[in-house]
Amino acid sequence: MDNELRQSEKDAVARAAAFADDRLRPHAAAWERARALPPEVFESAADAGLTAAILPVEVGGDAVSMQCAARMAEVLAAADFAFAFALKVHANAANAIARRGTDEQRHRLLPEMIDGRRIGAFCLTEPGVGSDATAITCRAAPETGGWTVSGDKAWVTNGVIADVMSVYVQTDPEAGWRGIANLLIEGDFTGLSRGEPYSMIGGHAAGLCDVHFDGCRVPETNLLIPVGEGFKAAMAGINMARMFVAAICCGMLSDSLERALTYGAERMAFGRPILANQGLQWELADVATDLEASRRLTEHAARTLDAGEPGITECAHAKKFATGAALRGIAACMQAMGAAGLRDGEALGRHLAAAKMCEFLDGTTQIQNVVISRALLRPHGLDAS
């Protein structure tokens, strides 16, 4: 993939890799134990040019291709899933404002988001609504000069610290998906409250929590996506996010494979390195094949998006395969390292937990099968059940 990048994009990937080595690897385990990312890490990421990579040039971004952005996500996730995913969510929120927002919204919100001083979040999922985004119930009632929002959002990445939330709301329950709009709700708005950070098997530093709106007043100037266009915009955003999740899985799997190979070359048993055993070689060869396939599917999905095509099926294939490959492969790498793979410093435990999380992020594996089945059946005049 790197061969297709412009020199400026290769430089951006190199900056991401250097940031991962200098700012993420030494601290990722501690951040996970603390269950929080320090806010200043986003400002450091901004200094490295990571927060504005995908934004248009006219708002101060670098307008890198999706192929470049995927590679940046991969090298960051190799060091720390939680930061890579948190940054992706923040950057996607800023990108939506840059490309769909009003001049007022861009001028007021983007400078501090690009500087990493205001953190973005994406609020679609609800406690009682999983994969069916058409069934959201968070209600936005029109009032003079704006909206009153009431309802709950769940699994909000960066929710613990977010200052700018891109919130999908239902304005007319009888209209179904046609009633969905998107409002920018800022962290200090009255009527907004946050639940406790989730206690999970991993990924705590991404700051996931519930967000509650109780008569939260939002001015009309904070309407980002008008009524009737919200659902399609949400699906387009999730589609791109699936490609990024695939890239993140490639990063974690690549790091795990390298750790297993390094350990196997140095660890002696019965007078020779354990990597000299053909059984272990073949297990890691299978991991390498899955990594190569994951990267090619991710690359194809990114290239499709860069071509201006929806890439719905391509992104579904990439996410489905890469998440499964990461879960299998990281477990295999941990097995190859024996008890040493259980140590915090080896990162394999964090990678393994995050790989399982990735099977749920931005649509479960089963939802990807629905998407792929629809594409298979459509030419035959059939619908997936």
Mean pLDDT of the chain: 94
User: Tell me: the pLDDT tens digits for 299-355?
Assistant: 999 999 999 999 999 999 999 999 999 999 999 999 999 989 888 778 999 999 999
- What structural domains and CATH numbers belong to the chain? 2-118 (1.10.540.10), 121-228 (2.40.110.10), 231-377 (1.20.140.10)
Beta-bridge mates of residue 217: 148
Alpha-carbon distance of 149 to 93, in angstroms, equals 19
Predicted pLDDT at 252: 98
Distances (CA, A) of 106 to 111, 112, 169: 8, 10, 21
The pTM of the full predicted model, rounded to 2 decimals, is 0.95
Predicted pLDDT at 3: 76
Task: Name the DSSP letter for residue 23.
Answer: I
Average pLDDT over residues 370-382: 93
Cα of first residue to Cα of last residue in the chain, in angstroms, is: 36
Task: Please give the share of the chain, as a percent, with pLDDT higher than 70.
Answer: 99
Q: Which helix (H) or strand (E) holds 146?
A: strand 146-156
Predicted pLDDT at 307: 96
Alpha-carbon distance of 203 to 157, in angstroms, equals 10
pLDDT value at 211 more than 90:
yes
Q: Which two tokens stand for residue 326?
A: 């990461």
Predicted pLDDT at 34: 84
Average pLDDT over residues 140-145: 95
pLDDT value at 385 more than 70:
no
Predicted pLDDT at 383: 82
Task: Please give the share of the chain, as a percent, with pLDDT higher than 90.
Answer: 90
